[in-house]
Amino acid sequence: MTHYRQERPKDTTDYIYGTRAVVEAIRAGREIDRLYVQQGLSNELFHELRELLREREIMYQFVPQEKLRRLASGKNHQGVVASISPVSYQQIEDLLPTIFESGRTPLLLLLDRITDVRNFGAISRSAECAGVDAIIIPSRGAAQINSDAVKTSAGALHKIPICREHNLKTTIEFLKESGVKIAACTEKGATDHFSSDLTGPLCIVMGSEEDGISGEYLKRADVRVKIPMLGTIESLNVSVATGIILFETLRQRSSTANT
Mean pLDDT computed over 247-257: 90
Pairing of strands 14-17, 80-84: antiparallel
Q: Where are the alpha helices (DSSP H) in the chain?
A: 19-27, 44-56, 65-72, 92-101, 117-129, 147-152, 168-177, 215-218, 238-257
Give this prediction's pTM. Answer: 0.82
Highest mean pLDDT among 19-33, 149-163, 170-184: 170-184
Per-residue confidence at 1, pLDDT binned at 50, 70, 90?
A: very low
Mean pLDDT computed over 232-246: 91
CATH class of residue range 14-84: alpha beta
- How does pLDDT run across 82-138, given as a tens digit for each residue? 988 888 899 999 999 999 999 999 999 999 999 999 999 999 999 999 999 999 999
Q: What pLDDT score was predicted for residue 6?
A: 34
Domain residue extents for the chain? 14-84, 89-257
CATH class of residue range 89-257: alpha beta
Residue 248 identity (one-letter amino acid) = E
